[in-house]
Amino acid sequence: MKKALIFDFNGTLLWDTHLHNRAWDVFLQKHNIYLSDADKNQVIHGKTNQDIFKNLFNKEFDARVMTRLSEEKESIYRKLCLETDVQLADGAIELFEYSKHNGIPFAIATSAGKENVDFYIHRFNLLKWFDVDLIIYNDGTIKSKPDPEIFNIAIKELNTAPEDVVIFEDSTAGINAAIAAKAGEIIIVNSNNEDYGGFNFQIIKNFSEFKG
């Protein structure tokens, strides 16, 4: 087992890509924009809302407008989470418990914003397993994946070296960010039946498949 674990959240610990896609469809329709699911993989998944909205509308927004647009979309998404009663991925809690029992530190590094992270903390009781300082999220200053910044922050917070870290990811942008962070091991979580043929990493469909 490596010395530390870092988890992406959306599409990795929470298999919610379909819910984000549905929420984006509602949001985009309102703004007369169309993206296929393939387009969403390129433009949206793994990216911060700041970069997403900049690319969607091809313009910069001030903080007030950015906050309004983000909350417009994320409120749709959170409503869908509650309606569908989506739960953490199979085997995730067991891996948390094993890691905690064996003194293996672990963190979350997510492109989600504070409002969604607060929702996840409450909805899934994340503080039972994660120190709040080890839930690293998009605070508006961190660069989007595939930039490795968020993983570099998590590695520093875990007080370990990149080569001693396992990073769990599902998006292409996130996998490339993990590569750029020089993670010792990268595990692809195939939550959405994607084609990962361009990568030579272990692929899992259940966290119990991860053997360390």
**48 pLDDT more than 90:** no
Residue 65: CB atoms within 10 A of its CB come to 13
Decide which of 110 and 42 is more confident: 110
Cα separation, 135 vs 9, whole angstroms: 10
Q: In whole angstroms, what is the distance from residue 5 CA to residue 80 CA?
A: 29
Average of per-residue pLDDT across 14-28:
94
Rounded CA-CA distance 152/181 in Å is: 6
Query: How many percent of the chain have pLDDT more than 70?
Result: 99
Assess whether the previous peptide bond of 146 is cis (omega < 30° from 0). yes
Residue 207 confidence (pLDDT): 96
What pLDDT shows up at residue 108?
Answer: 98
For the four alpha carbons of 50, 52, 54 and 57, in that order, the dihedral sign comes to: negative
Q: Which residue has the higher pLDDT, 196 or 37?
A: 196
Tell me: pLDDT of 46 over 80.
no
Judged against a pLDDT cut of 70, whether residue 1 lies above it is answered with: no
Is residue 41 predicted with pLDDT exceeding 90? no
Give the 3-state secondary structure of the chain: CCCEEEECCECCCECCHHHHHHHHHHHHHHCCCCCCHHHHHHHCCCCCHHHHHHHHHCCCCCHHHHHHHHHHHHHHHHHHHHHHCCCECCCHHHHHHHHHHCCCCEEEEEEEEHHHHHHHHHHHCHHHCCCHHHEEEECCCCCCCCCCHHHHHHHHHCCCCHHHEEEEECCHHHHHHHHHCCCCEEEEECCCCCCCCCCCCEEECCHHHCCC
Residues 124 and 88: beta-carbon distance below 8 Å: yes
Average pLDDT, the chain: 94
Question: How far is residue 83's CA from residue 176's CA, in Å, rounded to a whole number?
Answer: 33
Residue 168, pLDDT score: 98
Q: Is the pLDDT of residue 34 over 70?
A: yes
Q: What is the mean pLDDT of residues 109-127?
A: 96
Of the listed ranges 5-9, 11-15, 50-54, 149-153, the one predicted with least confidence: 50-54
Average pLDDT over residues 170-191: 96
Residue 87: count other Cβ atoms within 10 Å of its Cβ: 14
pLDDT at 163 over 90: yes
